[in-house]
Amino acid sequence: MAAGVPDERAPQPVDPKAAEEFLRQVYAETKPEVPLRERLRQVLGEIDRRGVYTHTAHELAFGARVAWRNSARCIGRLYWQSLQVRDLRHLSDPADVAQESIGHLRAATRGGRIRSTITVFAPDAPGRPAPRIRNDQLVRYAGHRNPDGTVVGDPTQVDFTDRVVEMGWPRPQPLGRFDVLPLLITGTDGRSRLFDVPPDAVHEVPLRHPEHPWFARLGLRWHAVPAISNMPLEIGGVVYPAAPFNGWYLDTEIGARNLADPDRYDLLPEIAKRLGLDTRSVRTMWKDRAMVELVRAVTYSFDADGVTMADHHTESERFLRHLEKEEAAGRRCPADWSWIVPPMSGSQTPVFHRYYDEPDPDLRPAFLEPHRI
């Protein structure tokens, strides 16, 4: 393990202070049936006996929603109270985790009417690590490295793709730019296994442009549900390493980042060429013009197929509404400016023109940084 990184194979007992702080927050913001004093006695006694405690369904749902509320990099937090919580803490076997992760995709997709959803699997306990999903999202496209160093697919997934191939995953033939990777899940025994994601669980949108017929012939597509799957959820000192969660896509996430970044699909040169733009100098603004048309195509395609997608202008206004609500409730609203401001037309959105409370790495409940593996 790298220096300073906790050994995920040896989870530590829950800190009673973290549990008490969380419970006081639950009772300050909601009205549980059991009195706080009695609940504290139950929880602290359980920690003393087992090193961990069991959240009630109410505490779990509240904690998961507040973890979203605390996510400094998310612009869509206005909807935090509507998060659907799938409580599957009784599951720890990798096959069950895989099956219900696929169930998560189906439950969240709803034919395109995307619902913000989290699925919570078994928590860590002293001496017993819980299962972990190694994919950074439940749906990712493979990156296939060619002998000449070029990549077919998503370059950021090359190392992960190589790893699952070494474990026995057969690369599709012919290699495609949008081959869905299998799930890689580590069980409580430390062994990792692969599970295919069935095609009918992955809702994909073929991309086309409202004005340029040639765009559809590029054969581009993107999946509908951005389900983050390798960020542990910590609530009141209890860590749930496998807790995949999703909102819905922002138009610029796909059009201005996933498909446009030079270290991702790097499509701007191709789009510019098809548009007949002068790419000999960046001063012609060819990158900017190509990006706008790429984002337009993404938004048009999702809208045409009836798949939920936010646009960066509307979502920026909604984030400021969320900020006002949090301030009215007497709460801080930490935000990472570089993530909140859209990667396109930033100054044309209201979130650009102000500063925010600095992110607090100690704020809990929270989604934690992924374990290093």
Burial of 192 (0-12, 13-18, 19+ CB in 10 A): middle
Instruction: Point out the catalytic residue in the list 80, 222, 248, 286.
Output: 248
What backbone torsions phi and psi does residue 51 show, to the nearest 5 degrees? 85, 0
Q: Which of 253, 293, 315, 326 is catalytic?
A: 253
Active-site residue, from 74, 293, 326, 333 = 74
- Yes or no: say if 184 and 135 are a contact pair by the CB < 8 Å rule: yes
Measured distance CA(274)–CA(219) in Å, rounded: 14
Catalytic residue (choose from 65, 69, 77, 208) = 77
CB 241 within 8 A of CB 371: yes
State how far the Cα of 363 lies from the Cα of 183, in Å rounded to an integer: 30
Active site residue 248: yes
> Is 253 among the residues known to form the active site?
yes
Contacts with 120 (C-beta within 8 Å, 6 or more apart), sequence order: 60, 64, 85, 86, 87, 88, 89, 233, 240, 243
Question: Burial level of 236, CB count in 10 A (0-12/13-18/19+)?
Answer: buried
Query: Is 333 among the residues known to form the active site?
Result: no
Q: Determine the residue type at 69.
A: R
Q: Which amino acid is at 147?
A: P
Contact 293, 214 (CB under 8 A): no
Q: How many CB atoms lie within 10 A of CB 80?
A: 21
Contact 51, 125 (CB under 8 A): yes
Structure-block tokens of residue 67: 């973890």
Which of helix, strand or coil describes residue 49? Answer: helix
* Residues known to be catalytic: 74, 77, 248, 253
